[in-house]
Amino acid sequence: MGEKLREESYLAGEGLATAIFLALKLQKPLFLEGEAGVGKTEVAKVLSRMLETPLIRLQCYEGIDVNQAVYEWDYARQLLHIRTAEALGTTGGDRSRLEDELYTRQFLVQRPLLQAIEHRGENPPILLIDEVDRADDEFEAFLLEILSDYSVTIPEIGTVRAERPPVAILTSNRTREVHDALKRRCLYFFIDHPDLEREVEIVRLRVPDAEERLTRQVAKAVQRLRSMDLYKPPGVAETLDWTEALVALGAKELNEDLIEATMGSVLKYHEDQQRVLLQSLSLLAGS
């Protein structure tokens, strides 16, 4: 599994590779937890390429509800339909028939969960339920239900069921604990920041234009930043952005001036930048 992931430019540790393998084999949802930028969302994208199957993404946010996740009725089109029927005089006074017409497939808007359930294809789709920790308890309870039987009842239409369960990937940035019940339904894996060697390899893989010396220096500097108790420690995403910025400036190796000039690629909070500027630019530049 590790090899296949690498072919798609993703470097997973053995633990993660095994978790992904098992999730596919046992057809269980995979719950990935970890700080921002450690590569959680990317797992779903990589699997979609690897298994040559569509990625259906449900981005969670505060206040997300079932309508936004499963289906909605297209009010604007329904209204237009009524107006047109009235204008053409085709209602014939038969209100109830007109109303029936309004709740048919034609006016149904599929949201990601329904799309995943109704997907028909050679392979089940990848269903990415991203940043579950942002949704509220009620929505979590609803997800639990969906993940148990992948069926949805639309009162006006009936019950639809997935032919085969989608490959579900749930992620959480751990801004709060997600309920045990939901985790119990899934295989759980915590993605940590990579160690130095793996991060160097990730940068080599993703930013092949970077000089080897620069790559190492950046990876080391990022590791140091992570140990500095910052408000927002950099993830792999920031390491890659930073390296790309340095390469764009033609840098062959890191120095204090370059760090200062490109700091916005790796630290996104003013306080964190101030702190690093005060303490340890020279420390970071050291190879």
Ligand X SMILES: Nc1ncnc2c1ncn2[C@@H]1O[C@H](COP(=O)(O)OP(=O)(O)O)[C@@H](O)[C@H]1O
Q: Which residues here bind Mg ion, judged by CB under 5 A? A: 41
**CB 131, CB 169: distance < 8 Å:** no
**Residue 224's binding partner out of ligand X, Mg ion, none, with CB under 5 to 8 Å set by partner kind:** none
Q: Is 202 near ligand X (CB under 6 A)?
A: yes
- Which residues in the chain belong to E strands, given as ranges? 30-33, 55-59, 71-73, 108-110, 126-130, 151-154, 158-161, 167-172, 187-190
Pairing of strands 158-161, 151-154: antiparallel
- What angle do the packed helices 212-226 and 236-248 form, to 10 degrees? 140
50's contact among ligand X, Mg ion, none, with CB below 5 to 8 A by partner kind, is none
**By C-beta, is 84 or 175 nearer to ligand X?**
175
Pick 238 or 272: Cβ nearer ligand X = 238
Position 281 contacts ligand X (CB under 6 A): no
Instruction: Classify residue 261 by burial, with Cβ atoms within 10 Å: 0-12, 13-18, 19+.
Output: middle
277 is a site residue for ligand X (CB under 6 A): no
* Sites for ligand X among residues 224-243 (CB under 6 A): 236-237, 240
Which listed range, 32-40, 97-105, 210-218, 266-274, lies at the site for ligand X (CB under 6 A)? 32-40
Distance from the Cα of residue 279 to its chain's centroid: 34
Would you give the binding string for ligand X spanning residues 42-61, x where CB under 6 A is met? x-------------------
- Which residue do the tokens 């130095």 mark? 196
Which residues of the shown chain bind ligand X in the complex (CB under 6 A)? 9-12, 34, 36-42, 171, 202, 206, 236-237, 240
